[in-house]
Structure 1
Amino acid sequence: MTKCALLLGLVLSFLVVPPMVATGQAAVPVPVTRTFTAPIEPIPEYDAQKICDPIPRPGVVATKQLLLKTYGDRVIYIPRYGCSGISEHHEGRALDWMISVRKPAEKATADSFIAWLQKTDSFGNKNAMVQRMGIMYIIWNNRMWRSYDTAKGWTNYKNCAARTSTAYDTECHRDHVHISFTWDGAMAATSFYTGRVLDPGAPCGSIGGSGVASPAATDQHFIAIKPSRLVDSAKGIGVATAQRCRLMWENSASPGQLMEVDVTGRAGVPSSGVSAVALSLRVGTNAPTSVYVWPTGTSKPSTVQAVAGAGGDGRATVVVPVGKDGRITLATTLGAQWVNADVVGYYTADGGTLFNAVNSWRAINDTVLGPGQVKSFKLGGKDGIPTSGVDSLTLSVTTTNATKSGALRIHAFGGIAPGADSAVYRIGTQRTATVITGASDNGSITISNMSTTATVHVNVDVNGWSGATGDLYSASFGHRILDTAAGKGASGVVTTGRTISFSARGVSGVPASASAVAMQLYATNPVSGSAFRAFAHGTREPDGWQFTSERAAPTAQLVIAPVGSDGKVSVVGISGSSNLRADVVGWWTSTTRSPSPTPTPTPTVNPAAYALSTALSPSFVVLPTQSTITGWVLPAKVSSGKRVVIQRWINHTWKSVGSATIATTGKFTYGTQPVVRGSYLYRVWKPSDGCVNSVCTTRGAVSPAFTLNAAVRYAVGIGVVDKTITKGSLAQLQGGVSPAVAGSLVTIQRYTGGKWKSLGTAVVRSSGRYSYATRPSTTGGFLYRAVKFNEQCAQTICLLQGAVSRTIVVTVG
């Protein structure tokens, strides 16, 4: 409503009724608009009416106001309720201007407006206003004119020229002008409304190819990566045409568009060995639409992965198997969409982490992030999340009470912030997003508010974690296990406080051994603000939730839930109400195998296997201090003189960074010194020895992973422009901070009454410089210093250590 009102206000600000008067009589007025340049939208295409959603769209409302303001008060209809027959009125993108052909003055007015729409502008653009306003067709006075087929001109409408009786005036459009709009025009996205020419791009198209997809893979490991852009259709990235394009909906008048996207070998995904990908998906749409994503080479599923409202955007985390030729396919149900997708992780048969689902619990409760604010949180050590060995987290992030719209970015504490948004927030709404993010070894994350003007309240619920131990993932192409409207699994609307339970294993291909399921939960008819939580049946209801609907429209979201001992999942209504559907897109089963890139438990002593133990001292250093890794490899008589390999977790894989020789006692020592601040995950590997044809005389060993936290200490300088000033003058203090963290604060203190007292703070610029002005109220000598406190802290660990500048003296005479 706010966007519609804003667009309407923009239109009305430049649409006026000119006092046009011809010689001796009043002339038919002509609308006046802003000045346009030569560029113009392409000829509108036919967007067939498909849904019943008769909400007046902003472009249509603006045209109505244009008619009223230019030609005077007259009845104009936009929506048509009941949705009987085919009409764009049913989608709020058509209007009927009630004006009669039987009254010469009214006919002249209607003819004049239509002529204005179809007039060639000074740049030679035919039907200029039709194109700028996104008008699809016009029906008036027995005839129909189609902008998408101008070669036909005005054609006879329903043989109306021969049906002259007034009884047919409405059907033959002799008592009103009918104007239908494209979705772009209806949503006021074209230049008439915005002043900017809309470049809609071409259809994105399919890549082509042959063959069918492999069956969905089972028993897979997960590798989380820094979000990497896979698709950006507005820039032609990752699409078949390699040009700016939109995903066009499939309709009855055209074959429609299926967007095929190459996944493997791009955006951080290996070229082989990948069974499925986890995506952060965003679609910007001109019409209400549902989004489907599936492996190329299989049939389009009935599972909805995302939903977006007209003129808005839909966001979702999607886990989808990779199809033939390493591709996935996308389709939508209405309008045209700009598509963005970032890879946040992928699944592989070996070489990754295992997942541990937990009943959703509230880890961060109503924390406030101010404009540009960054906060870090330790989530490990409670409610099923270990104190170490965490690689990634699956979260539900709910935003409320936003003062403006904005976005959050979430990443591992001590790591590099991603270049893509993790969740977006909107003023006046409550939004929940499923977020898969890397985490530091102790489960710490950092959340950044990307808006420089908005404040937002953030809640974070934990749904699971990935690490060295846990369960293997198996993908599904989407099988329905719940439809409360149809009575499948459970029946009836899920209202506030109502709990339903349904079978989630032993059905729809989910094995009886499944410990947790990944579901696409779909609310078919929610009231605005509806919220739901899913958890293992038979367990205490948790305090977290995974699903909200910010508006009274269908909503889809990925939900992960443990399965109860009886094989069931429960869903409870927290607020609002809706019928619910749930499609299983994957599940987890327990395993005793360990993934190759993550540490295994310390082995017991075995004559045929090495036993390895390690220690790190200290585990927290302030650079450039060095830390030492020590350990023993037994039996010493076998390991003596051989080498252990030191490995560090880099870009979600273990990489060798050094080695150390084993002494005769079995002991080894290795010094390490990171060059930049951060949390570093290490392990030690002793390879197998005496191997022939995969048979080894002594099997190797891998230590548990351990974390080195490396901090840097600030260096703070302070100076003054004039060391001696007169009473009442400003003392201009200035200095520098290293490392330079733009936007951080320096505290200025003055020594008074036998102790240091803070006067205020100064903002550090990107250059590391700061300045601060203070006005001493008396004469004498005044001592000043600058202080940087600890920053980038999670619990007791701070990666930026505070410092105090030297003391300076300012004399006031």
Structure 2
Amino acid sequence: MTFRVAGRGGVPASGVSAVALNLIAINPVAFGWFTVHPSDAPTTVSTLTFHAGESAAGEDFTRLTSTGEITVVNNSDGDVHISVAVDGYFSDTTGTGAGDEYYPLSTTYIYDTRPSLSAGSPARTTPVPANGSVTFQVAGRNNIPATDVTAVAVNMIATGQTARGWLSLHPSDEPDPLISSVDYVPGETDSSFEVVRLTGTGQITVDNHGTSPVHISVTARGFFSAATGDGGLPYRSVEYIKLVETLTGLGTENGSTQPLAAGATLAFDATTASGAPSDAVSAVALNINARRPTHQGWLSVYPADEDDPGISSVNFDEAGESTNGFDLAIPSSDGRIHITNHSSGTVHLQVTARGFYIHKDPEVIPDVPETLDGEGEELVPPEDGQVGAAARRTYKDYTRGPIYCYNTLHVQPAPFWVNFRRYNNGKTRLRWVKVNGYDEKLGTKETQYAAWRGDGGKSTYFWRRVNYHYAYWNIEDYIGRIYIHKSHKPYVKIGFKWKVIGQPDTNCVGYVNVY
């Protein structure tokens, strides 16, 4: 079936690149899956998998084209009802002022009723009653600001239920929309992703539409804010891109077609398809299909340079039941993501990128006072790709700093310094970068990378995450590509992960001109 989205349900008639959709397969007669795509761009990639007699709900960031229409295809041997609701839309306008921007967070619990993992305010260690509800605070907790937050991206789990039912989420001061966010069945742990709007209360209500009590777990992936500031990201929608397909060996080590083993981790490149430098991609919109599982379990999704958070992104059942899930995953600074199989059986994976949150480096970088450290002259060899004799050039060495990198909450700065050599022909050479990333009271700021940018924004040098607390990179370790024309306005970009004891990690980025 094909239906119009642009110009309906609060979605503008034009200027929209994608929509955040809540999809529900209701009372399916047979096993199958939906493919969801722009009406003029068909795909065979599944968006939501369902099983006979079990309703299923899921989220998708679906691209819109000039038709303004979306097509849903039922890939099963039986009938199935469908419900489609809009959680929000993404403008195709780039830059500030294009709408609310996204701020990714390291995955963290914001509410959990399970006694062993109880989290949130007000605290609760009992399940949500049959046909009951629970309200909890979101704004002002777990690095989500207390004000100016318009929505949160969450993953919700339903577990411990003894009968079928479903859960809905909504702002606490608005009525129940009667739209499922998670459908659950007895004996399973079921999960789904949702973008939930926040109002002035800063609270979310979960309603249990079932005859059985159910435990819930809600974890945050990030938040949307209308406030302008550093760290906010616009969304770039793309045609669906398969990143991993274990059945065919796509994206696996040595092209292996083996399923992901019990307790094993798959690492894959998640950012190359974006067309942006890996360190500029702050989050990836992923559809993750757990296929042919041999035992009940779940998948965790996290940056490849971090430890497994032990928090579910996709839950799956045994007996070969495939399950789709959606996530906004943060890649490592070199663009890689880990998926770990938390089950005692094997599972195949298909991972598809829907879009990317890309950090656009600023057009104007404020100048920082510099200190002259020395001057002299030296023989300068030809640049890469050029021939000729070395030329004698005079130079001056400068240090700029401290430059401060703030996290998304602008709480604690992280200072860094750069030293560069400026030649009399207007070219510049980076000599070293120094970072002080330790704070005795608040925790640590873990240095992820330093990037020396030039040549129209391309990385000329890139140091990945190799230091902790304190970093010092020396350019002498690298041969070639050491000169940048002044006209290209080179700069240094530093990225941190700010780690505070007892708090979720946050990220920050800092810049300094070196011309």
For residues 81-115 of structure 1, what are the alpha-carbon distances to aligned partners after superposition, in whole Å with 9 as ceiling and x for unaligned?
Answer: xxxxxxxxxxxxxxxxxxxxxxxxxxxxxxxxxxx
1:333 is aligned to 75
1:789 is aligned to none
Matched residue of 2:282: which SS? strand
Measure, in 2, the Cα distance between the counterparts of 1:585 and 1:533: 19
2:110 is aligned to 363
Measure, in 2, the Cα distance between the counterparts of 1:415 and 1:511: 41
Alignment CA distance shift 1:524-1:372 (3 Å): closer
Counterpart selection for 1:507 from 251, 273, 276: 273
Counterpart selection for 2:340 from 572, 578, 583: 572
CA contact (8 A) 2:304 2:336 kept: yes
Measure, in 2, the Cα distance between the counterparts of 1:332 and 1:310: 13
CA contact (8 A) 2:57 2:180 kept: no
Measure, in 1, the Cα distance between the counterparts of 2:311 and 2:135: 20
Measure, in 2, the Cα distance between the counterparts of 1:480 and 1:261: 25
1:354 is aligned to 101
1:412 is aligned to 171
Measure, in 1, the Cα distance between the counterparts of 2:199 and 2:317: 32
Measure, in 2, the Cα distance between the counterparts of 1:330 and 1:511: 33
CA contact (8 A) 2:100 2:150 kept: yes
Aligned positions of 1:476-495 closer than 5 A = 476-490=238-252, 491=256, 492-495=258-261
1:331 counterpart letter in structure 2:
V
For residues 408-453 of structure 1, what are the alpha-carbon distances to aligned partners after superposition, in whole Å with 9 as ceiling and x for unaligned?
Answer: 12112333332322222212211011111112457431112233x3
RMSD (Å), alpha carbons: 2.2
Measure, in 2, the Cα distance between the counterparts of 1:520 and 1:538: 21
Q: Greater strand percent: which structure? A: 2
Q: CA deviation at 1:544?
A: 1.9
Measure, in 2, the Cα distance between the counterparts of 1:370 and 1:326: 41
Measure, in 1, the Cα distance between the counterparts of 2:261 and 2:150: 37
2:312 is aligned to 545
TM-score by length of 1: 0.39
Q: CA deviation at 1:566?
A: 1.4
Measure, in 1, the Cα distance between the counterparts of 2:138 and 2:307: 21
Measure, in 2, the Cα distance between the counterparts of 1:425 and 1:568: 32
Measure, in 1, the Cα distance between the counterparts of 2:262 and 2:198: 34
Measure, in 1, the Cα distance between the counterparts of 2:147 and 2:310: 24
Q: CA deviation at 1:325?
A: 2.6
Residue 50 of structure 2 is aligned to residue 283 of structure 1? no
CA contact (8 A) 1:296 1:324 kept: no
2:342 counterpart letter in structure 1:
I
Which has the greater radius of gyration?
A: 1
Matched residue of 1:428: which SS? coil
Q: CA deviation at 1:489?
A: 2.1
Alignment CA distance shift 1:585-1:383 (3 Å): same
1:532 is aligned to 299
1:119 is aligned to none
CA contact (8 A) 2:302 2:339 kept: yes
1:588 is aligned to 357
Q: What percentage of aligned pairs have identical amino acids?
A: 25
For residues 556-584 of structure 1, what are the alpha-carbon distances to aligned partners after superposition, in whole Å with 9 as ceiling and x for unaligned?
Answer: 12122001111111111122430111111
2:328 counterpart letter in structure 1:
I
Measure, in 2, the Cα distance between the counterparts of 1:291 and 1:266: 22
Residue 11 of structure 2 is aligned to residue 269 of structure 1? yes
Measure, in 1, the Cα distance between the counterparts of 2:56 and 2:296: 16
Residue 61 of structure 2 is aligned to residue 319 of structure 1? yes
Number of residue pairs the alignment of both structures matches = 334
Matched residue of 1:566: which SS? coil
Q: CA deviation at 1:375?
A: 1.6
Residue 224 of structure 2 is aligned to residue 456 of structure 1? no
- Structure 2 alignment gaps of length 5 or more: 115-124, 363-515
Alignment CA distance shift 1:507-1:272 (3 Å): closer
CA contact (8 A) 1:386 1:442 kept: no
Measure, in 1, the Cα distance between the counterparts of 2:132 and 2:80: 32
1:543 counterpart letter in structure 2:
G
Measure, in 1, the Cα distance between the counterparts of 2:100 and 2:361: 13
1:688 is aligned to none
Measure, in 2, the Cα distance between the counterparts of 1:308 and 1:505: 29
Counterpart selection for 1:475 from 237, 255, 264: 237
1:295 counterpart letter in structure 2:
P
1:292 counterpart letter in structure 2:
T
2:391 is aligned to none
Q: CA deviation at 1:510?
A: 6.0
Residue 87 of structure 2 is aligned to residue 344 of structure 1? yes
Q: CA deviation at 1:302?
A: 2.9
For residues 229-258 of structure 1, what are the alpha-carbon distances to aligned partners after superposition, in whole Å with 9 as ceiling and x for unaligned?
Answer: xxxxxxxxxxxxxxxxxxxxxxxxxxxxxx
TM-score by length of 2: 0.61
Measure, in 1, the Cα distance between the counterparts of 2:199 and 2:309: 25
Aligned positions of 1:511-522 closer than 5 A = 512=278, 513-522=280-289
Measure, in 2, the Cα distance between the counterparts of 1:509 and 1:481: 14
Measure, in 2, the Cα distance between the counterparts of 1:565 and 1:507: 15
1:554 counterpart letter in structure 2:
S
CA contact (8 A) 1:389 1:442 kept: no
Aligned positions of 1:133-532 closer than 5 A = 259-284=1-26, 285-298=28-41, 300-335=42-77, 336-348=79-91, 349=93, 350-365=97-112, 366=114, 367=125, 368-440=127-199, 443-451=202-210, 453-467=211-225, 468=227, 469=229, 470-490=232-252, 491=256, 492-507=258-273, 509=275, 512=278, 513-532=280-299
Alignment CA distance shift 1:566-1:384 (3 Å): farther
Measure, in 1, the Cα distance between the counterparts of 2:85 and 2:354: 19
2:222 counterpart letter in structure 1:
G
Aligned positions of 1:788-807 closer than 5 A = none
Measure, in 2, the Cα distance between the counterparts of 1:440 and 1:292: 33
1:244 is aligned to none
Matched residue of 1:495: which SS? coil
Q: Greater helix percent: which structure? A: 1
Measure, in 1, the Cα distance between the counterparts of 2:14 and 2:274: 29
- Structure 1 alignment gaps of length 5 or more: 1-258, 594-813
Measure, in 1, the Cα distance between the counterparts of 2:295 and 2:203: 33
Q: CA deviation at 1:545?
A: 1.5
Matched residue of 2:67: which SS? helix
Q: CA deviation at 1:511?
A: 5.2
Measure, in 2, the Cα distance between the counterparts of 1:316 and 1:510: 28
Matched residue of 1:325: which SS? coil
Q: CA deviation at 1:278?
A: 1.1
2:321 counterpart letter in structure 1:
A
Measure, in 2, the Cα distance between the counterparts of 1:311 and 1:409: 20
CA contact (8 A) 1:518 1:584 kept: yes
Measure, in 1, the Cα distance between the counterparts of 2:36 and 2:202: 31
Measure, in 1, the Cα distance between the counterparts of 2:330 and 2:9: 30
For residues 340-395 of structure 1, what are the alpha-carbon distances to aligned partners after superposition, in whole Å with 9 as ceiling and x for unaligned?
Answer: 11111111135521112223222222251012322211234444322332211111
Q: CA deviation at 1:263?
A: 0.7
1:394 counterpart letter in structure 2:
A
1:264 counterpart letter in structure 2:
A
Q: CA deviation at 1:403?
A: 2.5
